[in-house]
Structure 1
Amino acid sequence: MNHAIGKLSGVTEEHQGPVRLLPWSGPDGKPCYLVGEGGGHVSRVADEIEGVQLGMADDILGHAEDMLGGRQVTSRELRFLARGLADALRDVRRVAESRGARLAAAGA
């Protein structure tokens, strides 16, 4: 099956086979993609990193709930917490986008 990567973040080349958004960016901050069936080493590493990212998001959410649950927090603590939450949200959004695209491709 022929998939146009152009549907994913402006990449314009055409490739044979499924395309996976990876859970990391290139040095220039652009998304990285894996073209293929998804059973190789890079795919397994991506699965592991996604699991770590989701676990870290859960941890920072728990920390936020504890932190905001009763004690007075400083503006510096809130900025640090907001940065951690923003980073976690970005990671979780990327995981969801990647998994959603793979589900859509599998259903097609």
Structure 2
Amino acid sequence: MSRLADTTEAVQLGMGRELLAHARGLLPETPHGELRYLAECLTEALADALRVADSRGRRLERLN
């Protein structure tokens, strides 16, 4: 189970990094419609990152 969680975490964090890099490149000249889509994607990536952090925290609590 731990390996699956680690793999899922790595995928989610990698996607978040890619999305952040993409957002940084687009933001200066992006039309409003595309900004909304980008904001939705960034919101999902942040939710994934928070889910990873919460999961890590729970696993660490069980080890202590």
TM-score, L = length of structure 1? 0.54
* 1:65 pairs with one of 13, 17, 24: 24
Please identify which structure carries the higher strand content: 1
Q: Across the two proteins, how many residue pairs are aligned to each other?
A: 64
Alignment partner, residue 59 of structure 2: 102
Q: For structure 1, list consecutive stretches of 5 or more residues without a partner in the other structure.
A: 1-37
Measured against aligned partners, the alpha-carbon deviations of 1:41-82 in whole angstroms (never above 9, x if no partner) come to xx42332121100000011111111112x3x21111101100
RMSD: 1.3
Are residues 1:88 and 2:57 paired? no
Rg larger for: 1
Identity, in percent, stands at 48
Please identify which structure carries the higher helix content: 2
Q: For structure 2, list consecutive stretches of 5 or more residues without a partner in the other structure.
A: none
